[in-house]
Chain A
Amino acid sequence: MAGEINYAELKKGGFMKQKQKGFGSLRLKVIGGNLTAENIRVISEVAEKYGRGYVHMTSRQGVEIPFINVEQLAEVKEALLKGGVETGVCGPRVRTVTACQGSEICPSGCIDTYTLAKELDERYFGRELPHKFKFGVTGCMNNCLKAEENDVGIKGGMEITYNEEPCFSCGVCVKVCRTGALSMEDGKVVLDASKCNHCGRCVKSCPADAWVGTPGYIVSFGGTFGNFIYQGEELLPIIGDKETLFRVTDAAIEYFEENAKPSERFRKTLERLGIDGLKEKVRKAYEGGEE
């Protein structure tokens, strides 16, 4: 690494300049917060050999190894790769896709968040854009992964249907519903669909399986939680299939790419232009048509 050090190029590889001259904090690639035991082993070895024997956990499920000497960066990357660990990214591109443990692990989960995070990562990770762009996937309404703080947030939910036959009017669903969408009238459960927020708690708690839930994706757009804080907005109904979901996420990222000024965050673009343009674009994508 002779001559001038190109920090912009280095940053792509997730190497963040430290106050200490010649050292950087090396961001590693993590998808959905999961690392294998082998990954952790090699990270540990590298932190001891090349860093100062510790790692830093970032706010978005990433791992960084501080105090990496820039002269040893290539060697470090090679050592990490042997344990299946790649470097992450920073700068104006698609960042780490975060995820909770989702329906494969968590009893509250409505969707398989980790699989979706991997798919989003394959589709978008590192893609160059006018500014940073964050995806976050959370499995249910409990929102452990804070969907709305991301440029595109995806939250698991359920579309619900009620079968009267197996229902024995135990009353549990009426009580677990947090939006007051369910009531008991003459011993029968009545749904006010306009109040349903698709949390699926009725489905999860129903002892008779009278409530049946179809998992779906609730998408929010334009969230940010740094210097400027804004809660991403839901612009569409719950999405029932991945094909539609990816059409919608493609549309959102394209809209950002086409309309943002350089170094302008998604939310700022939406503030400058108003939300209607994006709304129309994602609506078309949701409805399935070519635009």
Chain B
Amino acid sequence: MAAEVIEFDEQVDITDVVCPITFVKAKVAIDELEDGQVIAVRMNDGEPVQNVPRSIKEEGHQILKLADNEDGTYTLYVRKVEEA
């Protein structure tokens, strides 16, 4: 899964925080994007990778890919979708 390269505009590392701040930190970063921009969100294995993608989906943004960095972290690529 890691092979595919996805272009992104911004990135945020949420490996330094724990739930529920993981999602909050990602959300704040996404809020600063323009509609349609892509962000790479680096997160830890375990709870973050199990929960953060769903929370971002529930916010209405588009998930493009989850890449295994093979170092105990994952990168989730998200395209911002402005609320209608």
Q: Which residues of A contact B (CB under 8 A)?
A: 107, 168, 170-172, 175-176, 178, 184, 201, 204-207
Asked if residues B67 and A171 are in contact (CB atoms below 8 Å), the reply is yes
A residues within 8 A CB of B62? Answer: 207
Asked if residues A107 and B58 are in contact (CB atoms below 8 Å), the reply is yes
Asked if residues A207 and B63 are in contact (CB atoms below 8 Å), the reply is yes
Asked if residues B54 and A205 are in contact (CB atoms below 8 Å), the reply is yes
Asked if residues B67 and A178 are in contact (CB atoms below 8 Å), the reply is no
Q: How far is the CA of A178 from the CA of B47 in the complex (A)?
A: 11
**8 tightest Cβ-Cβ pairs between the two chains A and B:** A207-B63, A205-B54, A171-B66, A172-B53, A172-B66, A170-B65, A176-B50, A171-B1
Interface residues on B, range: 10 to 19
A residues within 8 A CB of B66? Answer: 170-172, 175
B residues within 8 A CB of A178? Answer: 50
CB distance from B84 to the nearest CB of A (A): 18
Q: How far is the CA of A172 from the CA of B64 in the complex (A)?
A: 9
Q: How far is the CA of A170 from the CA of B75 in the complex (A)?
A: 11
Of A170, A176, A205, the contact of B64 (CB 8 Å cutoff): A170
A sample of 5 inter-chain contacts (CB < 8 A) reads: A171-B67, A171-B68, A175-B66, A176-B53, A205-B57
For residue A171, which residue of chain B has the nearest CB?
Answer: B66
Q: How far is the CA of A172 from the CA of B49 in the complex (A)?
A: 8
Asked if residues B49 and A175 are in contact (CB atoms below 8 Å), the reply is yes
B13-63, CB < 8 A from A: 49-50, 53-55, 57-58, 62-63
Known: A170-B64, A172-B63. A184 touches B53 (CB 8 A): no
For residue A175, which residue of chain B has the nearest CB?
Answer: B49
Asked if residues B50 and A204 are in contact (CB atoms below 8 Å), the reply is no
B residues within 8 A CB of A168? Answer: 64
CB distance from A204 to the nearest CB of B (A): 5
CB distance from B49 to the nearest CB of A (A): 5
Of A170, A201, A204, the contact of B63 (CB 8 Å cutoff): A170
